[in-house]
Amino acid sequence: MSSRAISTRDRGGSGANRSPLARIGVGFDGGPSGRDAVILASLLASVTHADLMLIAGVEEPIVATVAPAGMDAISVRRQTQAMLAATKDSLVPGARTVVHLDAHVRRGLRHVARREHCDLLVVGSDRRARAGRTALGERSQEVLCHLACPLAIAPSGMADGDSLALERIGTGFDGKAESRVALELAGSIAVAAKAELEVRGIVNTRGPAGLAPEHGFPRAEPNVAGETMSLLKEALIAAGATGAPVQVDVTPGDPADALCALGARVDLIVIGSCGSGPSARISLGSTGSALVGGARCPILVVPRPRDTAAI
């Protein structure tokens, strides 16, 4: 059972025409995943006219030690600055560069993003990610999942792919506040990029604690049908307010499966945070973690709204 509606608008229509992404920070580590992050950030900046900032972390020893020549913090910082300058000159000439010392490099990214008032932080996938898929290491998830700004993750090997474009932006929608702020940001990016917005509404049929009906928690079919039609109406109103050309599709099912399928069709997928995380922070629940752990396109995760009470 599926409910679908298509709303056709002029590209770059009369809705929101200014992207909220004015300053984009990029975590760069000098490796392939760092280049993937730079490419994704550059693509987003090119359509939103955002300022770019390349951020590299230098690990600062917790306990003072005598380092070999050329390996002390000052030397490493200079080498890192030179690496960032070379990357900037070759890939994003107009970008700023920032080198930050911290005992934990990923935590340092979060601190710089807050200090520099970044509207988005972009990182690459874990080095163990499959080619063309996203992945965050466990430590990265622990550190970055408390960001106060959106987080974008580039798939592994993105820098080595074909020419890139943002022609289709996808987002999930379940009617909750977290999905509404994600839809708003997805719509603003779609308008800026003159892209189509695809909204995937999902009526969760997994039951309590993520259990499927076969585990003893069946959903009544008439109730599912009513929820589907109700969510379709909500999604159409919310998507229409963005001013982007939009396609809305609402079906019952498993949110993780639905969003993974959506990620295979779009150039960027925008999702909201888990509804049980801290207010105004990123929090990955089971659905977000499943998507981040293998999506076929870049993922952008939006923090919870400020007016949502923290649990």
Residues 110-144 pLDDT 10s: 889 999 999 999 999 998 899 999 999 877 877 77
- Helix, strand or coil, per DSSP, at residue 209: helix
- Is residue 83 one of the residues assigned to a domain? yes
- Is residue 137 one of the residues assigned to a domain? yes
Q: Which domain holds residue 70?
A: 23-160
Q: What is the mean pLDDT of residues 142-151?
A: 85
Say yes or no: 111 and 241 in one domain.
no
Alpha helices, H only, the chain: 32-48, 73-91, 105-115, 138-144, 177-193, 221-240, 255-263, 286-292
Phi-psi region of 219 (alpha: psi -120 to 50; beta: other; left: phi over 0): beta
pTM: 0.86
- Is residue 307 one of the residues assigned to a domain? no
Say yes or no: 288 and 191 in one domain.
yes
Compute the radius of gyration of the chain from its Cα atoms. Answer: 20
d(CA 202, CA 174): 6
pLDDT of residue 218: 53
pLDDT of residue 162: 76
- Is residue 311 one of the residues assigned to a domain? no
- Is residue 308 one of the residues assigned to a domain? no
Say yes or no: 170 and 224 in one domain.
yes
- The yes-or-no verdict on residue 4 having pLDDT over 70 is no
From the list 284, 23, 305, the residue with the least C-alpha distance to 134 is 284
The domain total for the chain is: 2
pLDDT band at 68 (very low <50, low <70, confident <90, very high): low
Span of 34-38, 52-56, 182-186, 207-211 with lowest mean pLDDT: 207-211
- Helix, strand or coil, per DSSP, at residue 306: coil
Q: Which two tokens stand for residue 272?
A: 């909201």
- Is residue 43 one of the residues assigned to a domain? yes
| CATH assignment at residue 53 | 3.40.50.620
pLDDT band at 75 (very low <50, low <70, confident <90, very high): confident
d(CA 40, CA 59): 25
| Boundary (domain end) residue, out of 130, 160, 190 | 160
| Boundary (domain end) residue, out of 160, 188, 220 | 160
Cα dihedral: 168, 174, 175, 177 (round 10): -80
pLDDT tens-place string over residues 83-117: 999 999 999 999 999 998 776 777 888 889 999 99
